[in-house]
Amino acid sequence: MALRRIVILASGQGSNFVALTEAVQKKEIPRAEIVGLICNKEKAPVLEEARKRGVPFSVISSDRFRENGVFCRQPYEQALLQELRRLKPDLICLAGYLLLLGEEVIRTFPGKILNIHPSLLPKFKGLHAQKQALQAQERETGCTVHEVTQELDSGRILCQKRLAILPEDTEATLTHRLKKLEHQAYTEAVRKKCLEAIDEVEENRQKS
């Protein structure tokens, strides 16, 4: 079976990008390769991480799709779709990608797009999930890797990890501790997806 082609979409620091790339290199994620990074920010630190690791990347700058300060979603989505089609992904991992994916992209890759979210979904969907957990005076929070569907932060959950909230926690300390868990959770979830794909190929082979 050919290697599973993984494309990562990210906009920021890239710690999840690094974790997934290293997990593939160490074969903790079996029979997979990271074939590209797509970033919507020209100066995002994740680009430097890709450069250092020799992962091919492309920038589709969302700023270039603004007219009079208004983001033009439709042409942006078409550019993204074109790049994704070129990369032929088996799996697309959103790793701190700060734009919502459009309907057509999600429809084109059903069950193939994963996202990581810093809360125990279905709790605290949307932005600032760590802050939401603190404000709700939760005693624990966590992170979730799930398949992306048309509904925000919903879809089949592949991996969830829990973390106790300490009385002295701030949004920053919580975010920091959560990231470490995120890296493990994302690796486990992608590994699970890749193994499912291998099982499926094997089942089909036995049937034929």
For ligand GRF, the binding residues (CB under 6 A) are 10, 12-16, 95-96, 116-118, 179, 182
Closer Cβ to ligand GRF, 140 or 200, answer by number: 140
Edge-to-edge strand list for the sheet holding 113-117: 57-59, 32-39, 4-10, 91-94, 113-117, 140-147, 157-164
Residue 153: how many CB atoms within 10 A of its CB? 18
Q: Which of 117, 128, 146, 183 is catalytic?
A: 117
Burial of 123 (0-12, 13-18, 19+ CB in 10 A): middle
Give exposure, 55-65, as e/b (b: 16+ Cβ within 10 Å). Answer: bebbbbebeeb
**Distance in angstroms (rounded) separating the CA atoms of residues 202 and 199:** 5
Closer Cβ to ligand GRF, 35 or 94, answer by number: 94
Q: How far is the CB of 133 from ligand GRF (least distance, A)?
A: 13
Residue with nearest beta carbon to ligand GRF: 96
Closer Cβ to ligand GRF, 25 or 82, answer by number: 25
Is 128 known to be catalytic? no
Q: Is the CB of residue 109 less than 8 Å from the CB of residue 84?
A: yes
Closer Cβ to ligand GRF, 117 or 191, answer by number: 117
List active site positions.
117
